[in-house]
Amino acid sequence: MVKGEISMSKQASISRSPDEKIFDAVIYTIAALIIVIVLYPLIFVVSASFSDPTKVLSGEVWLLPKNISLDAYTNILHNGKIWTGYTNTIIYTVVGTAVNIIMTVLAAYPLSRPDLPGRKVLMVIITLTMFFGGGLIPSYLLVKNLGLLDTMWALIIPGAIATYNLIVMRTYFQTSIPWELQEAAHIDGCSNWRLLLNIILPLSKPILAVMVLFYAVGHWNSYFNALIYIRNEARYPLQLILREILLISQSDAVDANVGLENKVMLAESIKYAVIMISSLPILIMYPFVQRHFVKGVMIGSIKG
């Protein structure tokens, strides 16, 4: 399987004409420009978060930190809301991802079996939901009627399976695990449950890793379900707290015992640090897992 990068060996052996050099120059210039455009806002946020707030507010920071200071970070340390949100999000992410993986495997494996009568009908029932649904209001009323409002389960159960992920996983089971192996196990008297747990899953570690990552990032970053289903602030996930700090209130997040002027200033400068703190887990994880993400998309690209 290709890893997402293109081998250029097909062109390396060819000698380069002046035309080609111009072409290369253009391509490299565009590529460099894209890198600058993508990175600049990120670098700006990082620099601003480590700068003296007065310098940020006067617009003096534009690339590198000015008068390095950790004021914004120390201020966040004292903010109880952010830590509540952080803890909640970790819980929702861990429990939610576990539920996601169990449910997705339970659906994907039987449906990957060519010898299962009725699987085509079931696949149609499942795939249809990708293209048509009841919409926001009926879903909301359902969750409400089930008594899930204001509980963690409202964020976990309605999204227990992402149909796209199910199809990716099913495709993986079908294409990457030899059917002969499963038949042989059956002849040896292996039950389907044991087959799944002892043979299929150990052989599916790459796709399981991809699924854990897809689902976990989804939970970590989601805010909308919490916005409609969670009322109690003590249960707010991190993204809702972020929304308050970054987009709604100006000065709630800052310690109450500083003057008004300072308060506004700190509220403004704290934003950069909050962005950093909330994105940190994903950005730390990123270099280690990016290969897996690519692989996941590629498996999905094989028509399921």
Partner 1 sequence: MKSAQVHVNAAPSRKIPGRRGRVWKQMAKRVDLYLMLLLPIVWYLIFHYGPMYGLQIAFKNFNPAKGIIGSSWVGFDHILRFFDSFYFWRLLWNTLSINLFSLLIAFPISILLALIVNEIRSKTFSKILQNITFIPHFISVVVIVGILNVFLSPTTGPINSLIEALGGSPIRFLEEAGWFKTIFIGSNIWQNMGWQSIIYIAALSGVNPQLYEAAKIDGASRLRRVWHISLPGIVPVIVIMLILDIGHFMDIGFEKILLMQNNLNIESSDVISTFVYTTGILKGEYSYTAAIGLFNSVINLILLLLVNRFARKVSETSLW
Within residues 160-199, the interface with partner 1 by CB under 8 A covers 160-161, 191-193, 196
Question: Site for partner 1 (CB under 8 A): how many residues?
Answer: 99
Tokens matching residue 66: 């000015």
**Minimum distance from residue 303 beta carbon to partner 1 (Å):** 8
Query: What Å distances lie between residue 92 and 44, 116, 162, 208, 295, CA to CA?
Result: 31, 34, 16, 19, 26
User: Is 288 among the residues that bind partner 1 (CB under 8 A)?
Assistant: no
Q: Is 291 helix (H, G, I), strand (E, B) or coil?
A: helix
C-alpha span between 185 and 104 (Å, rounded) = 23
**Minimum distance from residue 242 beta carbon to partner 1 (Å):** 5
For tokens 């227990």, what's the residue?
160
Using CB under 8 A, which residues numbered 265 to 284 contact partner 1? 268, 271-272, 274-275, 278-279, 282-283
Among 95, 123, 149, 157, binds partner 1 (CB under 8 A): 157
**The dihedral of CA 269, 270, 276, 278: what is its sign?**
negative
Residues near 217 by beta carbon (within 8 Å), at least 6 away in sequence: 282
User: Is 158 among the residues that bind partner 1 (CB under 8 A)?
Assistant: yes
User: Is 148 among the residues that bind partner 1 (CB under 8 A)?
Assistant: no
The stretch near partner 1 (CB under 8 A) out of 72-80, 171-179, 241-249, 256-264 is 241-249
Report whether 78 contacts 256 (CB < 8 A).
Answer: no
- Cα diameter, the chain: 77
Site track for partner 1 across 76-115, x = CB under 8 A: ---------------------------x--xx-xxx-x-x
Using CB under 8 A, which residues numbered 211 to 230 contact partner 1? 217, 220-224, 228
235 secondary structure, DSSP code: G
The stretch near partner 1 (CB under 8 A) out of 53-61, 70-78, 170-178, 199-207 is 53-61
User: Is 73 among the residues that bind partner 1 (CB under 8 A)?
Assistant: no
User: Is 242 among the residues that bind partner 1 (CB under 8 A)?
Assistant: yes
Among 101, 140, 190, 258, binds partner 1 (CB under 8 A): 140
Tokens matching residue 287: 């270099």
The stretch near partner 1 (CB under 8 A) out of 12-20, 67-75, 167-175, 176-184 is 12-20
User: Is 117 among the residues that bind partner 1 (CB under 8 A)?
Assistant: yes
C-alpha span between 87 and 81 (Å, rounded) = 10
Among 18, 114, 131, 205, binds partner 1 (CB under 8 A): 131
Nearest residue (CB) to partner 1, 83 versus 291: 291
Quote the Cα angle for 49-52-53, to 5°: 75
C-alpha span between 26 and 72 (Å, rounded) = 42
Nearest residue (CB) to partner 1, 145 versus 257: 145
User: Is 126 among the residues that bind partner 1 (CB under 8 A)?
Assistant: yes
Report whether 162 contacts 130 (CB < 8 A).
Answer: no
User: Is 59 among the residues that bind partner 1 (CB under 8 A)?
Assistant: yes
User: Is 20 among the residues that bind partner 1 (CB under 8 A)?
Assistant: yes
User: Is 19 among the residues that bind partner 1 (CB under 8 A)?
Assistant: yes
Q: What is the DSSP string of 123-156?
A: HHHHHHHHH----HHHHHHHHHHTT-TTSTHHHH
